[in-house]
Structure 1
Amino acid sequence: MPAQVADSVQKILSDLFSGATSFPAVGLFTRESGQKQTESIQVLESFCETAAWVANKGFLWALAQVVGALLEQESIACLVDGRMFLIPRLEEIAMAGALEIDPRRLTSPARQLGS
């Protein structure tokens, strides 16, 4: 993750929840071909009370979609209360270069792993 993106997201999370932590890690995933692949990743985390999560969930989902689009990722993983959600990146880019956000996508459930 480019440092500018990580720093910006960390600042946003810190402003929202009074703190955020960022650290490097190594991810391992399986390609459609079955081949294992590793990649360097940056983990960003922030903790909050349920009321703060509920109040900011739509914005955070949209933020994850924008980060996914900026980094050309298929999805962004989001861990909430021990459950992992894969949030797909925004698929539509306006002709003027602005991101189009469908409000229905902000409230629709993300694909959850392990359920």
Structure 2
Amino acid sequence: MMADGRIVVEFVAADGAVTPRADTLLVVGDGRQPGPAEGWAGMVVAQPAATAFTHALGCQCCLPRGGLAGLMGDLFRKRATGGLKWFTRLVVVPPPGQEALWRASMEKDVLAQARFRVEN
């Protein structure tokens, strides 16, 4: 049996607790910047660009990669090239009511699925 080397993705509600770890990158969708009191001092915090998560027309290979999937591709590239501290866990805190859209954005993207796996 082979080990799964993909980065673990954990979705957490906006009001949920997140345990900071050295191997974790946090993505916050509402722009809230966690501070030292939350244990995130020195951690990278990113926010997806305000782009559509879905598109009604066209095939998957023709659609632009936007939203969370596009951000995850950028994070993976920066991690691989040394632009970000090496991380093995990605905690995603979507805006309230948008978790399903964010999950769908990731689950529909072939590249995101190849590099990341949802744990919860």
TM-score (ref. length: structure 1): 0.30
Greater relative contact order structure (CA < 8 Å, 6+ sep):
2
Structure with a larger share of its residues in helix: 1
The structure that is strand-richer by fraction is 1
